[in-house]
Structure 1
Amino acid sequence: MSPRRGGGRAMKVRVLTFNTLFRGQVRARIGALAEIVERADYDVVCLQEVISPRILARLRGGTPSYPHRAHVRGFPLVRGGLVTLSRWPITRSHFLTYTRSLPARPEWILRKGALFTRVRLPDGYLTVVNTHLSANLDVDWSPSNVYTKVEESELRELAAAIGRIPRTEPMAVMGDFNVPRESPFLRAFTDATGLANALAGDAEPTFRPEIAEFEPIDQILVRPGIEATTRLVFKDDVRLADGGAVQLSDHFGIDATLTVGTA
């Protein structure tokens, strides 16, 4: 399991981003997800809503071929619910915690933010940013909405952190942005950071439409020099160890092949 080399010194790196859903048959679903990820050819996996340390342990036990992992243990929860798995060495990681903004809400306990990891590839490095922004509880992304203002503030913090990393460093930023793909303030974020949305123009929802009608809110953004092909995964029910079947999450996953040029 390794980055595939293309022509020249470019490499193909397989990534996955997926919001795992923190409630419901979590242990069983994480077990099924771990089996799928362990059999797959992903190089890096970014997961959101892995909140419980016990669920994190279940995930780690089921993915032995990903020896390199990044997360931050908080008490009593995994900070931000963010976990990044890698088959390639992680040479550095740090967690950016978004500033808490009113209104007060239960997700404050998660300390949402962004998990930065620098992955060492055979011919260079790739910085991977795994993030989960605050939810828009009104499902209203108009500029005056209070939750829109929270998300805009978090995007500004994330843009500032990304701006401190040299633009020559290949980078992929992914996760549950809780922001519609075509929203003007997400475009302002990509303009400020120089990132391109790998799914730009794709209107297929990433949240299960039978649960709620959202525009696509999960994203993969890449720096110039990286090409990406993407597809949605985990649309079908999966079989559990007890013989039952269940949806893996209320989100779909985004599977991407990144063609990364090396400096």
Structure 2
Amino acid sequence: MTKPAPGPDQPPIPVRLVTFNIRHGVGDDDRLDLPRLAQVLQSVDADVICLQEVDRHYGARSEDVDQPLLLSRALDMQLAWGPAIENPRGAGAPDRQYGNALLSRLPILISDVHPLPGTGEPRSALRTLIELDGGTLWVTTTHLTRSGDAERAEQLALIAGLHSEAMEAGVVVGDFNTPADAPELAELQGLFADAWELARDKQDRSRWKLWQHDAGFTHPSGSPHRRIDQCWVTHGVAVASARVVDARGASDHLPLVVDLEIPSGV
């Protein structure tokens, strides 16, 4: 079916997106509590939820459960899964997996996983195409390495290459393990811009510190002073608001919620 051409009379499509490093359901009290996490995610009322550090049958630390499946059922959302680590267990047992997940109220049309270069812990990017009412949105969810600027630059170059101008509206979100003004983020600039900087309205959890007003810090959750959980948007995607919300102790990170405005017909 041919999509209608965008025009000035077509309002933008609102999409609420959250990105959250969930530390496999372990809170800042070092207690595994998946129901607590599900309540936090439910409270933000998001259309698309992007998660990092998610376990799937990973072992005793997360009670060997399928965390993305349980969360998708609890929230009644569609699921896309992007493992970064896969360890076979054999004898018919499910593989031990760890990585990124995307939950969506909206139809997921495409989902693919892209291993990222680098040493140390394996990393990946989960790319999905979301169907909107009158448009589409590409969402890439990732968790970058802690092994240094050069390796992050390689990873970001690959991620930027997953999105061409012909794909139009898109976002890259996740735990970047580096500030938004780090030199390696130049790999995204050109196609993408920092949603926090674009947001017409900002709110965070640092208001009690006057020198951190609206700084967007997400880590560590108890006393945030690093803006490493980020959302980057393609040109033409507007950002009505960006806010860091209370995780209720569900992780060592805080969730970042962005209200996007996607051009119609793209």
State the TM-score bracket (shorter-chain normalisation).
0.7 to 0.9
Gaps in structure 1 of 5+ consecutive residues: 1-6, 137-146, 238-246
Q: Classify the secondary structure of the residue corresponding to 1:84.
A: strand
Q: Which residue of 2 aligns with 1:71?
A: 81
The structural deviation recorded for 1:157 is: 1.4
Say which of 195, 199, 204 aligns to 2:196: 199
Check if 1:148 corresponds to 2:149.
Answer: yes
Whichever structure has more strand as a proportion of its residues is: 2
1:32-74 alpha-carbon deviations (Å, 9 max, x no partner)? 221333354211000001123312343233222x1x2100464
Q: Which residue of 1 aligns with 2:53?
A: 49
State the distance in 1 between where 2:107 and 2:221 align.
Answer: 37
Taking structure 2 as the reference length, the TM-score comes to 0.75
Q: Which residue of 1 aligns with 2:184?
A: 185
Say which of 240, 255, 260 aligns to 2:257: 255
What percent of counterpart residues are identical?
Answer: 28
Q: Classify the secondary structure of the residue corresponding to 2:35.
A: helix
State the distance in 1 between where 2:44 and 2:72 align.
Answer: 15
The structural deviation recorded for 1:23 is: 6.7
Q: Which residue of 2 aligns with 1:232?
A: 244
Aligned residues: 223
State the distance in 2 between where 1:258 and 1:85 align.
Answer: 16
1:167/1:195 Cα in 2 relative to 1: closer, same or farther (>3 Å)? farther
Q: Which residue of 2 aligns with 1:157?
A: 158
Taking structure 1 as the reference length, the TM-score comes to 0.76
State the distance in 1 between where 2:44 and 2:216 align.
Answer: 23
The structural deviation recorded for 1:209 is: 6.4
The structural deviation recorded for 1:112 is: 1.2
Check if 1:223 corresponds to 2:234.
Answer: yes
State the distance in 2 between where 1:27 and 1:58 align.
Answer: 18
Q: Which residue of 1 aligns with 2:203?
A: none
1:30/1:125 Cα in 2 relative to 1: closer, same or farther (>3 Å)? same
Q: Classify the secondary structure of the residue corresponding to 2:188.
A: helix
Residue identity opposite 2:96 in structure 1:
L
Residue identity opposite 1:29 in structure 2:
D
Residue identity opposite 1:52 in structure 2:
R
Residue identity opposite 1:200 in structure 2:
E
Gaps in structure 2 of 5+ consecutive residues: 1-8, 58-64, 88-94, 199-213
1:211-257 alpha-carbon deviations (Å, 9 max, x no partner)? 6x75311111001111111000125x3xxxxxxxxx11111110111
The structural deviation recorded for 1:150 is: 1.5
Q: Which residues in structure 2 correspond to 1:33-112 (within 5 Å)? A: 33-53=37-57, 54=65, 55-64=67-76, 66=77, 68-72=78-82, 74-75=86-87, 76-79=95-98, 81-101=99-119, 105=120, 108=121, 111-112=122-123
1:34/1:196 Cα in 2 relative to 1: closer, same or farther (>3 Å)? same
RMSD over aligned CA atoms reads 2.5
Q: Classify the secondary structure of the residue corresponding to 2:253.
A: coil
Q: Which residue of 2 aligns with 1:29?
A: 33
- Equivalent pair of 1:46/1:84 in contact (CA under 8 Å): yes
